[in-house]
Amino acid sequence: MVSPHALNLPRTVSGTLLYSSLTRRPGDSAAVLPIPRITGGGFLSLECLENVRQWLKECGARHDECPGNDVVRLPTRLVEVSPPGAPESARLRLTDGQEGRYVALSYCWGGPQPFKTITSTLVAYLAGLPYSSLPKTILDAFHVIRSLGLAYIWIDSLCIVQDDEDDKNRELPQMRRIYADSFVTLTAASAVSCNDGFLDPRPSSRCPRHLSIRVDGTRLGSILVSNKQETLEFSDQANQPINDRAWTLQEAWLSRRLLVFSGLAVFWKCGMPEWQIWRPGLNRDACEESDSESKTIDHVLNSEKIMKSVWGEHSGYVKKDFSRARETWESLVNNYTNRQLTVERDKLPALSAIAETFSPFLGGGYLAGLWRQHLVRDVLWFTEGPGSRFIGHGPTWSWASNAGPIKFALRRLSYWNIHPSASIVDCSVVLAAEGVTYGAVESGELVIEGYLADLAPLGDDAEIFWDDPGRHRGGTQEGPPGGPEEAGVEASEHPGPVPVVSYWALTIAAGHIIQVGSEADPTHMLGLVLTSTEPESGGGLFRRVGYFVLHSEDKGCWQGQGRRVVRIV
């Protein structure tokens, strides 16, 4: 049992201890004990900075798997920070196509930015930023790059003119290059907002604790006591604030080097498979590498083993493996849709750089988050959880029209033998900004040919996943509405008598579970749940409202039904 008072420890510690990681301060009376010494201070300590410099040096000089330290064409604007020893200052700078090195910052805005570049402040910021008034996260980033002897940093709120749509339409498509070409990306993982900063380690119940001990029965000393497994794994770091933000996924994924400041430690990731760690108060000898540690550290960015599994061309690691690219893209979209956006219309722009990177490997033809060559597969997405809802714009056949987390059905059914039962006739989108292929869209239309039938007769054999459960009475993932009382109704939009909405089932694919050495599982039908936008005229224009799986061979509801061409908006 660990006591809050002085603890008698023999020179050789044996037996079962609740706390298995012990360290001591240099010069302490506990120096006679065979315990690693405590070193360093906070994230700006000399030891921490020396570790970071060493990581950078080794990566550039010794890692054949990593890009070199060559200069690159600089982004349109950068923040220039005063050098060490000079008065602290910073200004916005136009690069005019020059070459050099720069750092990028990935952080959570946490709301409106108190200082951002807009048309009325652009000229003043080119002369000098209001240094002492800037948010703490930005000032902390300045401290880091100055300590590393670097001069330039790219920060989105300052380097893009935030109230100039033309400037945003020019700069946002450059995000892929900006993060891929950055010398290193600083990740303020622990900061909820720009005002929090990231250089002060966060207190935690799992932080090491100082404990007084009696040495040789006479002298008092002190040691640092912590649970070794918890110290190494930092399982509470999986919930870093930066993991909740949608924009920061592509910033981390595209970067060739990451320097991550979490609440308790500094992490380094480059092209090598291992993460490197520095923790205040513990020397490198006390930080043993292990498979379990690497796995847990991977969770710090909540990457689900997808970080850099397909490399963009700027990193020099393009792996032309289509099956891997497809799998990774679907994992990224699932990860991305579990994150939050302040502005819902940013749903596609905040993933645009990743989409551009994947385009050569998925055949091009990017259509509101889906790929032309794989539309039959791509339209079979479904929502997860009751928080899903339609965000009010964009084509309903795209997952980007939904605010909740989604998954791709055929990824979930990877052990099925699936074949399409529908064919794509045409698909088109209207871009929000001309030429910004991977950005926001205003609208879109999918023309598809398949078997269409009334949903109601499918009964309990059908499992329904509603895109917007809150807008449908009885709209659960247990089955379809049964009648007028259970029919999906958008009541808030229709004052007075509640209209009944008819649902249609459009088959997209069919398949069965692959069972080696046994009879094939009965065929299952997969498809979309639609509602007509022209119910009175009986026209062929529909909106998607869900996804279904029919767990039955009985396709009687489609018997006698010819294939039909439908348009989904």
Q: What is the mean pLDDT of residues 65-90?
A: 91
264 contacts 201 by C-beta, under 8 angstroms: yes
What's the pLDDT at 246?
94
**Distance from C-alpha of 96 to C-alpha of 76, rounded to nearest angstrom:** 7
In the structure, what pLDDT confidence band is assigned to residue 76 with cuts at 50, 70 and 90?
Answer: very high
Give the model confidence (pLDDT) of 141-177 as tens digits.
999 999 999 999 999 999 999 999 999 999 999 999 9
Q: Output DSSP code: residue 456.
A: G
Q: State the Cα torsion 344-345-347-352 to the nearest 10°.
A: -150
What is the three-class DSSP state of 265? coil
In the structure, what pLDDT confidence band is assigned to residue 385 with cuts at 50, 70 and 90?
Answer: confident
Phi, psi angles (nearest 5°) of residue 512: -145, 160
In the structure, what pLDDT confidence band is assigned to residue 539 with cuts at 50, 70 and 90?
Answer: low
Better-predicted residue by pLDDT, 262 or 75: 75
DSSP letter for each residue of 402-447: BSS-EEEHHHHTTTEEEEE--EEEEEEEEESSTT-TTS-EEEEEEE
DSSP letter for each residue of 541-569: EEEEEEEEEE-SS--GGGTTPPPEEEEE-
Whole-number percent of the chain with pLDDT over 70: 68
Averaged pLDDT of the chain: 77
Longest dimension (CA), the chain: 95
Helix 322-337 and helix 247-254: axis angle, to 10°? 140
What's the pLDDT at 51?
86
Of 13-22, 208-217, 427-436, 553-562, which range is least confident?
Answer: 13-22
495 contacts 407 by C-beta, under 8 angstroms: no
Is 90 exceeded by the pLDDT of residue 517?
no
DSSP letter for each residue of 161-228: -TT-HHHHHHHGGGHHHHHHH-SEEEEETT-SSTTT-SSSPPP-TTS-EEEEEEETTTEEEEEEEE-H
Is 90 exceeded by the pLDDT of residue 359?
yes
Q: Which of 110-124, 248-262, 383-397, 555-569 has the highest mean pLDDT?
A: 110-124
Of 120-129, 247-256, 511-520, 559-568, which range is least confident?
Answer: 511-520
Report which of 372, 376, 379, 356 is spatially closest to residue 427, judged by C-alpha positions. 372
Q: Which of 234-243, 282-291, 351-360 has the highest mean pLDDT?
A: 351-360
C-alpha 256: how far from chain center: 16
Give the model confidence (pLDDT) of 295-351 as tens digits.
333 433 433 333 333 333 333 333 334 457 888 899 899 989 999 998 899 999 999
How many residues are present in the chain? Answer: 569
Report which of 245, 288, 257, 281 is spatially closest to residue 108, judged by C-alpha positions. 245
What's the pLDDT at 207?
52
What's the pLDDT at 510?
86
What's the pLDDT at 271?
80
**Distance from C-alpha of 222 to C-alpha of 4, rounded to nearest angstrom:** 12
Is 50 exceeded by the pLDDT of residue 189?
yes
Is 60 exceeded by the pLDDT of residue 18?
no
Distances (CA, A) of 477 to 240, 344, 366, 373, 398: 31, 25, 30, 29, 20
Tokens 């993460």 belong to which residue?
275
The domains of the chain are located at 46-201+236-306, 322-568
Give the model confidence (pLDDT) of 414-446 as tens digits.
556 778 999 999 999 999 999 999 999 999 999
Is 90 exceeded by the pLDDT of residue 184?
yes
Of 18-32, 164-178, 265-279, which range is least confident?
Answer: 18-32
Hey, what are 420's tokens?
A: 């399409």
